[in-house]
C-alpha cells in the first residue's frame, strides 16, 4: 500500500513569508504527527492530530500551526518565516490503535533565505 506522502519535497522561501506543508497518511491511519529536524536540535515534536483533533503540541511558537481534515490528510503552516525555521519537516502516520508504530514520509526540506 502507498506510504506517507509529503508535498512539496523542497521549498525555498523568504523571511517573513508563510508556508504550508502537506501530508497524506497511509490509508486507514487516523493519526498524523509532525517533527522538525535540524542539525543542531535533532528531531523535535511539533504536534499530533487524531480524527481532526490536536492531542499534543510541542514547544514551538504560535507561528507554527496545523490541522487535520476529515480524510486524515494534514497540513502544517508556518507564518512569518525566520532563518531558523530552515529544516527538514517530517510527517509520521500511525494507526493509533493498540501498540502501534509510526511510518514516516520522505520529508519537506524548507530553506528560508
Question: Interface with other proteins by CB under 8 A: which residues?
Answer: 4, 6, 31, 33, 35, 42-43, 45, 48, 50, 55-56, 58, 88, 90, 92, 99, 101-107, 109
Q: Tell me whether residue 73 or residue 109 sits nearer to other proteins (CB atom).
A: 109
Rg over alpha carbons for the chain, rounded to the nearest Å, is: 13
**Least separation, in Å, of the C-beta of 96 and other proteins?**
8
Taking the C-alpha atoms of residue 21 and residue 19, their distance in angstroms, rounded to an integer, is 7
The helix (run of H) or strand (run of E) holding residue 48 is strand 42-50
DSSP letter for 63, please.
T
Q: Tell me whether residue 54 or residue 80 sits nearer to other proteins (CB atom).
A: 54
**Least separation, in Å, of the C-beta of 16 and other proteins?**
26
**Least separation, in Å, of the C-beta of 25 and other proteins?**
13
Q: Tell me whether residue 65 or residue 88 sits nearer to other proteins (CB atom).
A: 88
Taking the C-alpha atoms of residue 52 and residue 99, their distance in angstroms, rounded to an integer, is 21
The CA-to-CA distance between both ends of the chain, in Å, stands at 37
Amino acid at each position: 500500500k502507498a506510504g506517507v506522502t509529503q508535498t512539496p519535497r523542497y521549498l525555498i522561501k523568504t523571511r517573513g513569508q508563510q508556508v504550508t506543508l502537506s501530508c497524506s497518511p497511509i490509508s486507514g491511519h487516523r493519526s498524523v504527527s509532525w517533527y522538525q529536524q535540524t542539525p543542531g536540535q535533532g528531531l523535535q515534536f511539533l504536534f499530533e492530530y487524531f480524527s481532526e483533533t490536536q492531542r499534543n503540541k510541542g514547544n514551538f511558537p504560535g507561528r507554527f500551526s496545523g490541522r487535520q481534515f476529515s480524510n486524515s490528510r494534514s497540513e502544517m503552516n508556518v507564518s512569518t518565516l525566520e532563518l531558523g525555521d530552515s529544516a527538514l519537516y517530517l510527517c509520521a502516520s500511525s494507526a493509533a490503535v493498540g501498540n502501534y508504530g509510526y511510518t514516516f514520509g520522505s520529508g519537506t526540506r524548507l530553506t528560508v533565505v
